[in-house]
Amino acid sequence: MAVDFFPKQKITKVVKILIEHIPVLPEEVIKYLCPQKDGIYIDATLGGGGHASLIASHFGKNGKIFGIDQDVEALKKAKAKLDKYGDRISYIPDNFRNLAQIILQFSIKEVDGILFDLGVSTEQLKSPERGFSFSEKFNTPLDMRMDFSQKLTAYDVVNEYPEEKIREILYKLGEEPYAKKIAKRIVLKRKIKPIKTTGDLLGVIRESTPPKYRFSRKGHYASKVFRAIRMEVNQELPALEEVIPKAVDILKKGGRLVIISFHSLEDRIVKRTFKEMSLSKENKKPLVRLLTKKPIMASPSEIEKNPKADSAKLRAVEKL
């Protein structure tokens, strides 16, 4: 008799765990956001709705979440997951840069808390057609847009930016030690024919880096280049820089702002902006109180279950 080692249900569960986004620092988000039963919250990076579902589980009848995401696919999935909360959750397809205008549309002046969980979700990374994945298994067009309506794609960055700009992006956003060689080779190759796919870009990176570097480093050899291009395509640092003061502006007195970042430059922006806002300047009172002097990081047991949490840093402030 044939033995069914891998029942269908079990396989589906394993695949779901691999693809579904697991919210990082779940307990810490709740601790610092401190959701109130009838509070109004903004999840500025709704993604798969993991954190929103945790926040909503603390709600009474009148709790409300405005869920923003610039990725309409993410919003669809979040809506399916959070359906039971009905109109207590709104799904807003927009860039969080437009926070002030978004809130005005709903005639809301102040909120009790705002969460940002930056970067991309596991669903985005694992959907090959989005072009975020550096896995050799896929070979898809260079896209990397979170917002499908945006014009700039990874193809444009790779095929149209000048060499110096590509080098700077790879150095700065990717911290890629072979930035110079990779940028040079990109420009050389694209003169022959356009670099169209993730596979084409992987080929260029392979040709520009020594085997020792590719095989000895922690993580995939192309992860830094792909992350840098993704951050440029989606203008991730400028959006973050722009939104923090806007977020503090619409918080109620005693309201909380929680930001989870995954990149040293993002964390630097959050740290610096929070610090500046917590100091009194030219007879002006401080705007916020720091709730985290140092960033909160995931425990080894969380990292074991969710490796993405390894680079997560959470910082939080309370509006004064």
Ligand X SMILES: C[S@@+](CC[C@H](N)C(=O)[O-])C[C@H]1O[C@@H](n2cnc3c(N)ncnc32)[C@H](O)[C@@H]1O
Residues lying near ligand X in the complex (CB under 6 A): 21, 23, 45, 47-51, 68-71, 74, 95-97, 117, 119-121, 146, 239
Amino acid at 150: Q
Per-residue burial over 208-244, b = 16 or more CB atoms within 10 Å of its CB, e = otherwise? bbeeeeeeeeeebbbebbbbbbbbbbbebbebbeebb
Q: Which is nearer to ligand X, 67 or 221 (CB)?
A: 67
Smallest gap from Cβ 51 to ligand X, in A, equals 4
In the sheet with 111-117, reading across from the earlier edge strand, the strands are 89-93, 64-69, 40-43, 111-117, 251-261, 313-319, 288-290
**Sign, Cα dihedral of 247, 252, 253, 257:** negative
Smallest gap from Cβ 23 to ligand X, in A, equals 3
Smallest gap from Cβ 302 to ligand X, in A, equals 14
Q: Which is nearer to ligand X, 56 or 187 (CB)?
A: 56
Q: CB neighbours of 301 closer than 8 A, spacing ≥ 6? A: none
**Sign, Cα dihedral of 72, 92, 18, 234:** positive
Among 114, 116, 112, 115, which residue's Cα sits nearest to residue 254? Answer: 112
Q: Which is nearer to ligand X, 10 or 264 (CB)?
A: 264
Could you give the CA distance from residue 147 to residue 157 in angstroms, rounded to a whole number?
A: 16
Q: Which is nearer to ligand X, 74 or 247 (CB)?
A: 74
CA 131 to chain centre: 16
Q: Does residue 103 contact residue 74 with C-beta atoms inside 8 Å?
A: no
Q: Output the residue with the shortest Cβ distance to ligand X.
A: 47
Q: Which is nearer to ligand X, 11 or 17 (CB)?
A: 17
Smallest gap from Cβ 284 to ligand X, in A, equals 28
Q: Which is nearer to ligand X, 21 or 167 (CB)?
A: 21
Smallest gap from Cβ 1 to ligand X, in A, equals 43
Smallest gap from Cβ 28 to ligand X, in A, equals 13
